Amino acid sequence: EVLLRMHSVGICGSDVHYWQHGRIGNFVVKDPMVLGHEASGTVVKVGSGVTHLKPGDRVAIEPGVPREMDEFCKTGHYNLSPTIFFCATPPDDGNLCRYYKHSASYCYKLPDNVTFEEGALIEPLSVGIHACKRAGVTLGSKVFVSGSGPIGLVNVLVAKMMGAAAVVITDLSASRLQKAKEVGADFTIQIKNETPQEVASKVESLLGCMPEITVECTGVEACIQAGIYATRSGGTLVLVGLGPDMVTVPIVNAAVREVDIRGIFRYCNTWPVAIALLASKRINVKPLVTHRFPLEKALEAFETTKRGEGVKVMLKCDPTDHNP
């Protein structure tokens, strides 16, 4: 293990959800819990067995650590391990604090040209990497991203990076769609009160064809329905956003058109990829951060996220650091 002095911690929708509702699905907050799982910091101390890190190293933290080497770990899907420790998922504490202890294998050294803030953004970016890989985005793909929150935006970034020829994105908010344009979306659709079929046909007319790939980042029933209708026959719909337990969808439409519906659970093996992309400047996540607060103003930061202002709200945990 290593002891870290925390630096930058992003606020995620799930953090706000636990704070407001005390549960997400089967994960119920029963005791006080530290939030935060999008984080970077500086190594202060290392355990006796740690060789790849030393005090002073700047690291990005992968929040999910399997507790045992089970079949899922052996096959490379450690994110699916039922005994995984995950920051800020009850009952596991997160890392929105000054000092934090974590498994050394899940702390990744940041190159000098990658900032702490970019290091913290690797967590949401990883969701985009994992989703686009599961979707099979490749050279020339036409992609429909549903929802323009932080996760929709990282999927735009990654899809374009992986060679997507055109990306169309939907949202209710004009300002979020403007941000999507900034990070590389080719077309945007502001949803008013269209039916799912109408959304699908708008997507098709903007792209000039139905997309092979849809990445659904809202979890809203109507959006999942639109995702099925929009996806080209033989294509893939990846469900990233999670809403209610039970959702009514046109499953026969998907079945007879051979539309593959895939889920994702967090990510695995994405930190080295993300660090390489950030270090080589192949991907720019800096525009995602719109608000910054010191740790003392955490409540204000959470209120800002809850109101849906900006995109990514970042907390600064190190009072000795005055960089933005």
Question: For 109-159, what is the HEC assignment?
Answer: ECCCCCCHHHHHHHHHHHHHHHHHHHHCCCCCCEEEEECCCHHHHHHHHHH
d(CA 120, CA 129): 15
Is the distance from CB of 140 to CB of 163 less than 8 angstroms? yes
Question: Phi first, then psi: what are they for 142, rounded to 5°?
Answer: -105, 125
Tens digit of pLDDT for each residue in 99-111?
999 999 999 999 9
- Read off the tokens for 163: 């060679």
Tell me: pLDDT of 244 over 50.
yes
CB atoms within 10 A of CB 294: 14
Instruction: Give the per-residue pLDDT at 186.
Output: 98
Is the distance from CB of 47 to CB of 1 less than 8 angstroms? yes
Note the pTM of the prediction, 2 decimals.
Answer: 0.96
The average confidence (pLDDT) of the chain is 96
Nearest to 63 by CA among 83, 82, 89, 44: 89
d(CA 226, CA 72): 33
Band (pLDDT 50/70/90 cuts) for residue 238 is very high
Instruction: Give the per-residue pLDDT at 278.
Output: 98
Mean pLDDT for the stretch of residues 120-142: 98
Tell me: pLDDT of 322 over 70.
no
Instruction: Give the per-residue pLDDT at 34.
Output: 97
Q: What is the DSSP letter of 296?
A: G
Strands 64-65 and 27-28: unpaired
Instruction: Give the per-residue pLDDT at 319.
Output: 72
Q: What residues pair up with 73 in beta bridges, in sequence order?
A: none
Q: What residues pair up with 43 in beta bridges, in sequence order?
A: 4
Tens digit of pLDDT for each residue in 7-44?
999 999 999 999 999 999 899 999 999 999 999 999 99
Tell me: pLDDT of 324 over 50.
no
Is the distance from CB of 68 to CB of 83 less than 8 angstroms? yes
Is the distance from CB of 294 to CB of 316 less than 8 angstroms? yes
- Domains along the sequence of the chain with CATH: 2-109+285-316 (3.90.180.10), 129-263 (3.40.50.720)
Tell me: pLDDT of 323 over 70.
no
Instruction: Give the per-residue pLDDT at 209.
Output: 98
In a 13 Å sphere around the CA of 176, the CA atoms on its Cβ side amount to: 23
Mean pLDDT for the stretch of residues 278-285: 97
Tell me: pLDDT of 193 over 70.
yes
d(CA 35, CA 45): 23
Tens digit of pLDDT for each residue in 55-95?
999 999 999 999 999 999 999 999 999 999 999 999 999 99
